[in-house]
Structure 1
């Protein structure tokens, strides 16, 4: 059975390395580790089909902008007949401290518009997720400006570590049940 790993973010140079794009950063880390590239452009996204630990996997970066992420995820899942239980979505979380990584098997959108879009279009909350902490903005900074801003130099080390941990968890999921991966990485 094929698996799908989706990293959420916004397309374009303007949004590279912003807090909202940590999902893209994890996909980039996996691509770098294995010498892969997002060589396919379809389903409103950039993706690749690969094999890891004997398991087939699709890695996807939606190109729809965050609020419409489901418009990329749903058609890809349908085309490759991937069940939601074989979906793993990686995204930023304001409610976790910077550098913290949390895995879950289900849940709501928690106010995250990309997750809201995926839950609505896929029609279920029953899919795996990796949340990467980006913390909340300081007083006087809007949430929008904060998530579309870049990490400070002081934060870069923690972010880099969390991206590496999330990529490790993605790789572990290729040959272990997600519950086992959760227990190892939470």
Structure 2
């Protein structure tokens, strides 16, 4: 079994904000593969299904972004899964709006959701799909405001395309070696 986790914040007030792009990719995969997210355990909403014959869990942590690991760590443990079975979809302010970048491992890079995951699963060795949300000015207040707002009309077209590409990359990860998936999707503009 594999696990695809989309990072975000629960609640309607955070829906369709920049920080919730991970949830949107999970919603896209859920719809495309008829995997209903109806189960809750360990403060996570999830659904079981298959993609290309491979069993998986689609997961949205119900913790806030900064505590995502509190949901994902126990879920991995319960299903006896390792970091090798995990793919995380996250927002990335250092990428232009709509660009995606896949990484096989690495530090949190200032992303508090990833920092929490690393802390709770005790490794940086898990695959990620980063979706660019653009970067505001460098003040802390501007960053907080930026990640909790929606996309402009112009940006929305780029984001819709990025969600689609991220979902396709996640599907490819189910059956192909991740370096091969990275080569395909990191080269794609």
TM-score of the pair, normalised by structure 1: 0.97
User: How many angstroms does 1:156 deviate by?
Assistant: 0.1
In the alignment, which residue of structure 1 is the partner of 2:44?
A: 45
In the alignment, which residue of structure 1 is the partner of 2:161?
A: 161
Matched, 1:175 2:175: yes
- CA distance in 2 between partners of 1:24 and 1:139 (Å): 25
8 Å contact kept, 2:137–2:143: no
Q: Deviations over 1:85-115 (max 9, x none)?
A: 1100000001000010000100000100000
In the alignment, which residue of structure 2 is the partner of 1:101?
A: 100
8 Å contact kept, 2:33–2:51: no
What is the number of equivalent residue pairs in this alignment? Answer: 185
User: How many angstroms does 1:137 deviate by?
Assistant: 1.1
- CA distance in 2 between partners of 1:62 and 1:139 (Å): 28
TM-score of the pair, normalised by structure 2: 0.95
In the alignment, which residue of structure 1 is the partner of 2:60?
A: 61
- CA distance in 1 between partners of 2:33 and 2:115 (Å): 31
In the alignment, which residue of structure 2 is the partner of 1:185?
A: 185
Any unmatched runs of 5+ in structure 2?
Answer: none
- CA distance in 1 between partners of 2:82 and 2:168 (Å): 22
SS at match of 1:164: helix
SS at match of 1:168: helix
- CA distance in 1 between partners of 2:11 and 2:91 (Å): 18
Any unmatched runs of 5+ in structure 1?
Answer: none
- CA distance in 1 between partners of 2:132 and 2:3 (Å): 22
In the alignment, which residue of structure 2 is the partner of 1:147?
A: 147
- CA distance in 1 between partners of 2:137 and 2:160 (Å): 22
Name the Cα RMSD after superposition: 1.1
